[in-house]
């Protein structure tokens, strides 16, 4: 029971940026925003939180770089998904800090995944065992990201990409420590669990008005469970970026 409680506390600690961001989403509907549009307020405060994490040394410079990269990856995807020809979702509120119709804060919703993975890696002392050649992970990462764009005008290869993930990481285990005992689980199971909880977070986010899917414009509805597969694949991209910093770069430095 003690280990379970410690696990919960450490998970909350790992999700410090994501948790703070959700708090901002909630508060932005209930507090004065000093004349700022809600979307602009969310961007400015998200940047401030990221700065606090860096200057308090809760995040390293390399971690901030990876998180920023994922912010850009997410923002580019947002620009495409919200474009008039696609219209997968929308940001109906006004704001100054936007590119086209996409508020700049939206990239932080993706960056939150990278932040969580980076923090969890440190807090739980994660270690990957039986991880194959990194180049295959990079190739898979590229194909997953490409499919997010091409699936609107050609065949959606999602099911094959998910199968590729399970095959590529079939033997990989992630070892972690909650208190003193070293435990492990298949990496694919970890991916599924993270994707499921992101889907729950997505439901909370859309309920709080972070963005809206077409069927939520007039009234909020639960987000389709099909989105879990999208988040599963997005988690893979984030994981591969963080894995380079935490696993492969570390091994390279050891050999030098």
Task: Band the pLDDT of 236: cuts 50, 70, 90.
Answer: very high
Query: Cα separation of 246 and 120, whole Å?
Result: 11
- pLDDT, position 253: 46
pLDDT tens sequence across 71-91: 999 999 999 999 988 988 889
Tally of structural domains, the chain: 1
Range of the domain at 188: 2-255
- pLDDT, position 247: 64
Distances (CA, A) of 95 to 38, 85, 88, 105: 7, 22, 20, 10
What's the burial of 159, exposed, middle or buried (CB within 10 Å: 0-12/13-18/19+)? Answer: exposed
Supply the mean pLDDT for the chain.
Answer: 89
pLDDT tens sequence across 6-41: 999 999 999 999 899 888 888 888 888 888 999 999
- pLDDT, position 157: 95
pLDDT at 109 over 90: no
pLDDT tens sequence across 146-196: 999 999 889 999 999 999 999 999 999 999 999 988 999 999 999 999 999
């Amino acid at each position: 029971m003690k280990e379970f409680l410690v696990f919960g506390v450490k998970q909350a600690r790992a999700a410090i940026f994501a948790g703070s961001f959700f708090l901002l989403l909630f508060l932005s509907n209930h507090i004065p925003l000093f004349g700022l549009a809600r979307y602009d307020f969310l961007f400015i405060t998200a940047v401030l939180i990221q700065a606090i994490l860096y200057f308090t040394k809760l995040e390293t410079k390399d971690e901030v770089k990876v998180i920023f990269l994922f912010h850009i990856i997410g923002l580019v995807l947002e620009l495409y998904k919200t474009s008039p020809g696609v219209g997968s979702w929308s940001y109906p509120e006004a704001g100054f800090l936007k590119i086209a119709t996409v508020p700049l804060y939206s990239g932080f919703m993706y960056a939150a995944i990278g932040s969580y993975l980076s923090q969890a890696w440190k807090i739980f002392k994660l270690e990957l065992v039986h991880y194959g050649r990194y180049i295959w992970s990079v190739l898979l990462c590229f194909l997953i990201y490409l499919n997010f764009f091409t699936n609107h005008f050609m065949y959606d290869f999602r099911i094959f990409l998910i199968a590729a993930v399970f095959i590529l990481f079939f033997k990989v285990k992630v070892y972690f420590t909650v208190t003193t005992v070293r435990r492990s689980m298949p990496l694919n199971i970890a991916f599924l669990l993270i994707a499921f909880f992101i889907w729950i977070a997505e439901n909370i986010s859309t309920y709080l008005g972070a963005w809206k899917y077409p069927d939520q414009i007039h009234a909020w509805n639960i987000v389709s469970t099909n989105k879990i597969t999208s988040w599963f694949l997005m988690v893979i991209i984030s994981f591969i970026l963080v894995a380079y910093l935490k696993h492969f770069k570390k091994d390279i430095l050891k050999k030098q």
